[in-house]
Structure 1
């Protein structure tokens, strides 16, 4: 049932291929010290170590220091690094008890679970963190300190050097995500892995999958099998769709988890549900199933709020999804329910939130759910365009104890066109240049929303016009790294002029990774 990814590039797991693309180094006293490359996201602290340069040599090995309960995960990070280095350098890069590249979870506890320290001098490269996740974040930084060709999927020529540097780093926000809409157009497991690889390179830690909408239901549900087999059969334009079996979804969750992205599954309710309504007549108030929908209009569908079967259906669906999702968040949608009377909407969301919370997961939904009863720990996703009504709902949610993830459509929606000539995407939220996507502050975007209520940021990619991963990459890059920096780096580090210079240096790395990125004319790519 899954569309095959057409041949386009070696897919070894970008992060396995890219993250791991960190070259190994060894003593090189003769190498000239060069300034360290500019990094995205910008670290909290970085110092140049003058006169120090490390060079990866054919004898370089990677070593791991970790407690017994962390050793397996820390070793997995090291193995990813070693595998990519073998690929790009042609060296053996073994794991060993001692090595010039050292990964250690014995330290940096003050920097939190994702924080790390990285030091490069002429004798060693050392990444120290309190957790394997912190090691992973440090390795993504190490990657960027290397030549772009270190990300290649085939053997390249050296030398493999890195300038001496000392970095101490940790994230601004705990939630830093991106969303991929697999409902309007379906993306294969391989395509989702490709996107995971790219997102993880910039220290994002949440992958929000929009799994159900009017155009398609994309996840196998054993208790309601026609959701996938019938409701997932088409996509926008009427072309064949597809769905993820439970094994497929488990593979996505596993792959994302090894790159420290938590999968957040979304089943949008009570609107955006035509695929479900078409699959089961009983879910409709009149008992008649509508036809499958392959257009792009919104707001016309609704689950039947007054029927008991609606809630047994949702209980089954969310229970199965929760059991497949190790993360603590399930997204229930809640947006654009224009066909659901407001009183019914509130009744429905109050019941559905209780169902989700009953699975042991935190409730997440679009900002419209701010007008309903919110279980403890709820997260509201703001997607407004600076309009008063959307901001009011986000502020209302905060008064109820919810936190807010910032995804303003006129800044963070990566499916918005860059300019009027962009060949894909939409423009209902405006044109979103690379600068506009970067040049805003999540903590001050909504006036009178306490900064403490802001959980982080997320960059959604809606797929009405994006039918393959090449087009997704074109719309996401170069804007996604900017959203990632807003989520990771300190406010004092956020400066467009300095950022666009750092961004310019990413182009050669994306070329090495075969990323189909938009070469924005305002960036002096190098």
Structure 2
């Protein structure tokens, strides 16, 4: 009886702790969380009689105006000005004792709010914290408040990293100035400070260059390409994949897609961002990814003209002075337009083989003591860096600029996850590095239930650097490539809310995923008011392929109480008119359900397809003489799918779990693998398996295909179930990687428990 009482007491204490954590998260639902927050009793109440005290001069005039705008949206009018601190005042103070440009303090009591900052940037960051502590009505709802209550607290805060960025590709698909302003608003709310704007690529030139008008007159427009067609096909079932009609024109009997920003529009956007302390960094990508420019100015390539090669397009020619004249003219206008100290040159994915076939390349390389085409690209990058420096700018390039040698003053943006040595080499060389690895920071990858956690657990400083070398890692950013993001709503869905996880990594850098997850739930209503089409929280309690033995109930917990889960059984997508899923829905037999969670405004989250089939428990295999682990067969070469893998690999080995060891030496090259053995399950039950792969993988148990995640794709999780009796069962995982960064992970769940890593001791193989 004593043990039972202790258990009950423990459960009650855990429940109380959880309640307290939820209450704290609701009261201080700030993302990114401050470095130090000491809760205080009570709250400060802002009314129309509260006075705002601002230091004399214009130091904080912009930030005071931003605060007033928030309060006016909430109360219907701005606050009267005050001249001295006292009860019922909000006081902005310049504090030169603070160390950093973005540091701030907040002292919120029941009587007063004191905001301290050294610079306008720090003051703006403080106001964003106040903004998140205010009710969501300050974001601009039609309902005006009679008061704005802010919970009391003492906050001391500063960022862990100076570069906290987001990248948006506007070349593959184009986005309006209004959307870019909305994007900047979201960045500012979460204390992100760099906006990397990818303005040019093969698919379109998006910024006006007055000296070369054809770049936008013709280079900003294209006929439909294969990516547009793929988006159109997906739009049949997902309206967010529809191409924005406002960017379509009809000219000379052709339907064209595109658009561009005038320099006047860009100046306005830059000023808008600067007022919110977000720096816009322009990228004009060269020498590769220049098809849109070369089509209009064919002299830019070595051969004249441009075409697609095996992987990439014809680059501009680094052996012609006319190339540098063009580049310098373009960047002269870019340098004058953008006040940022940085310009991104790109310099990635260059088809250097085209240079080798140019008659003058060997003579040029010999004249300039260049030994190969890697050094030829390095010559181009270094020469452009000197030009940037002459304009008072610093060069940033993708990590390919390391090939052939790089100057120690160039900044390196690391993206190729399959070249883990690149950021280490750059930092040891004295180059500042911005981390943007494809996994997990390419936000064009389709998100799943792991995406937010993967971002939150990202560590910017790679292993292999000393503390001193680690200081050359100045931060990170996430990249949004838009080949398959044709609309503004789709862009929102792809980057939110996982950007909030990156914001906390880079500002707070204190791992508290559970606390972050609770605070994230408080952010959704604010994003609703801001009209951000974020990806709603995942539903849980099922897999994609499900089995049942006897009577089975489907019980799905709602992410938030106001959501309604609706379902269909005829294969159509659920709508607001579809029936609500009962709390304990009994699976009637073999069936396919489609379910989605709906917000009160009718917007729904992911649509899940749940297939159910009856199954009897698979009997265990009787076998002895096993040892822990799995056999690994490794296949060299490119395999489009796991079904094309041969019976025997090019090499074999053993692993402890469903992993690919680095010793296999696959770094960046395509390969295949089969992992095979037995799984020893400890009880008779229905087991759920979750297989994450980049590119493709399938899971087989007892000869049954449990999870199908085949085909080349970005990191993606698929799931399935199988009913197993206690004991040994044959298990096989087939995996293919198309080249680049790879991912392979197998997790499991049983009896509604937590999803976790498959235990090593469950896996066995013949000696």
TM class by smaller structure? 0.7 to 0.9
Query: CA, structure 1 residues 497+108, in 2 after alignment: closer, same or farther (shift >3 Å)?
Result: farther
Query: CA, structure 1 residues 34+223, in 2 after alignment: closer, same or farther (shift >3 Å)?
Result: closer
1:322 is the counterpart of 2:335: yes
Which residue is equivalent to 1:482?
501
Which residue is equivalent to 1:59?
49
Which residue is equivalent to 2:411?
379
Which residue is equivalent to 1:434?
452
Decide whether the 8 Å contact of 1:217 with 1:227 is kept in 2. yes
1:132 is the counterpart of 2:120: yes
Q: Which has the higher contact order (CA 8 A, sep 6+)?
A: 1
1:468 is the counterpart of 2:458: no
Decide whether the 8 Å contact of 2:385 with 2:410 is kept in 1. no
Comparing 366-375 and 163-172, the one that deviates more: 366-375
Query: CA, structure 1 residues 154+212, in 2 after alignment: closer, same or farther (shift >3 Å)?
Result: same
Which residue is equivalent to 1:83?
69
Decide whether the 8 Å contact of 1:350 with 1:372 is kept in 2. no
Decide whether the 8 Å contact of 1:314 with 1:355 is kept in 2. no
1:241 is the counterpart of 2:258: yes
Decide whether the 8 Å contact of 2:93 with 2:114 is kept in 1. no
Decide whether the 8 Å contact of 1:62 with 1:98 is kept in 2. no
1:362 is the counterpart of 2:379: no
State how far apart, in whole Å, the 2-side matches of 1:95 and 1:414 are: 44
Query: CA, structure 1 residues 297+169, in 2 after alignment: closer, same or farther (shift >3 Å)?
Result: farther
Report the Cα offset of residue 74 of structure 1.
Answer: 1.1
Report the Cα offset of residue 267 of structure 1.
Answer: 0.7
Which residue is equivalent to 1:410?
439
SS of structure 2 residue aligned to 1:269 = coil
State how far apart, in whole Å, the 1-side matches of 2:282 and 2:106 are: 33
Report the Cα offset of residue 479 of structure 1.
Answer: 0.5
1:516 is the counterpart of 2:537: no
SS of structure 2 residue aligned to 1:178 = strand
Which of 302, 314, 321 in structure 2 is aligned with 1:301? 314
State how far apart, in whole Å, the 2-side matches of 1:140 and 1:101 are: 18
Report the Cα offset of residue 298 of structure 1.
Answer: 5.7
Decide whether the 8 Å contact of 1:349 with 1:372 is kept in 2. no
Decide whether the 8 Å contact of 2:47 with 2:75 is kept in 1. no
Comparing 272-281 and 448-457, the one that deviates more: 448-457
Report the Cα offset of residue 273 of structure 1.
Answer: 0.7
Q: TM-score, normalised by structure 2?
A: 0.58
Comparing 73-82 and 478-487, the one that deviates more: 73-82
State how far apart, in whole Å, the 2-side matches of 1:187 and 1:361 are: 27
What per-residue deviation string (whole Å, max 9, x for no partner) do you get for residues 272-325 of structure 1?
1101111201112222366xx9xx996223111211111111111111111111
Comparing 447-456 and 475-484, the one that deviates more: 447-456
Which residue is equivalent to 1:206?
194
1:97 is the counterpart of 2:129: no
State how far apart, in whole Å, the 1-side matches of 2:93 and 2:341 are: 24
State how far apart, in whole Å, the 2-side matches of 1:465 and 1:298 are: 18
Q: TM-score, normalised by structure 1?
A: 0.84
State how far apart, in whole Å, the 1-side matches of 2:426 and 2:332 are: 25
Report the Cα offset of residue 373 of structure 1.
Answer: 4.5
Report the Cα offset of residue 135 of structure 1.
Answer: 0.5
1:503 is the counterpart of 2:503: no
SS of structure 2 residue aligned to 1:364 = strand
1:310 is the counterpart of 2:323: yes
State how far apart, in whole Å, the 2-side matches of 1:298 and 1:479 are: 30
Which of 395, 415, 423 in structure 1 is aligned with 2:424? 395
Decide whether the 8 Å contact of 2:204 with 2:219 is kept in 1. yes
State how far apart, in whole Å, the 2-side matches of 1:147 and 1:108 are: 31
- What 5-or-longer segments of structure 2 have no aligned partner? 1-23, 229-254, 354-372, 541-558, 562-767
Query: CA, structure 1 residues 53+288, in 2 after alignment: closer, same or farther (shift >3 Å)?
Result: closer
Alignment size in residue pairs: 468
State how far apart, in whole Å, the 2-side matches of 1:210 and 1:525 are: 37
Decide whether the 8 Å contact of 1:371 with 1:393 is kept in 2. no
Decide whether the 8 Å contact of 1:36 with 1:48 is kept in 2. no
What per-residue deviation string (whole Å, max 9, x for no partner) do you get for residues 183-212 of structure 1?
111111111111001111000111100011
Report the Cα offset of residue 105 of structure 1.
Answer: 4.2
State how far apart, in whole Å, the 1-side matches of 2:132 and 2:49 are: 22
Report the Cα offset of residue 365 of structure 1.
Answer: 0.8
1:334 is the counterpart of 2:334: no
SS of structure 1 residue aligned to 2:205 = coil
Decide whether the 8 Å contact of 1:410 with 1:432 is kept in 2. no
State how far apart, in whole Å, the 2-side matches of 1:297 and 1:119 are: 60
State how far apart, in whole Å, the 2-side matches of 1:281 and 1:344 are: 20
Which of 478, 490, 494 in structure 1 is aligned with 2:511? 494
Decide whether the 8 Å contact of 1:329 with 1:364 is kept in 2. yes
Query: CA, structure 1 residues 497+510, in 2 after alignment: closer, same or farther (shift >3 Å)?
Result: same
Report the Cα offset of residue 124 of structure 1.
Answer: 1.4
Report the Cα offset of residue 351 of structure 1.
Answer: 2.0
Which residue is equivalent to 1:252?
269
Report the Cα offset of residue 384 of structure 1.
Answer: 2.2
Give the superposed CA RMSD.
2.4
Query: CA, structure 1 residues 54+327, in 2 after alignment: closer, same or farther (shift >3 Å)?
Result: same
- What 5-or-longer segments of structure 1 have no aligned partner? 1-32, 420-430
Decide whether the 8 Å contact of 1:264 with 1:331 is kept in 2. yes
What per-residue deviation string (whole Å, max 9, x for no partner) do you get for residues 45-84 of structure 1?
001112x311111222322115x4xx2x511111122122
Query: CA, structure 1 residues 297+361, in 2 after alignment: closer, same or farther (shift >3 Å)?
Result: farther
Which residue is equivalent to 1:428?
none
State how far apart, in whole Å, the 1-side matches of 2:310 and 2:153 are: 52
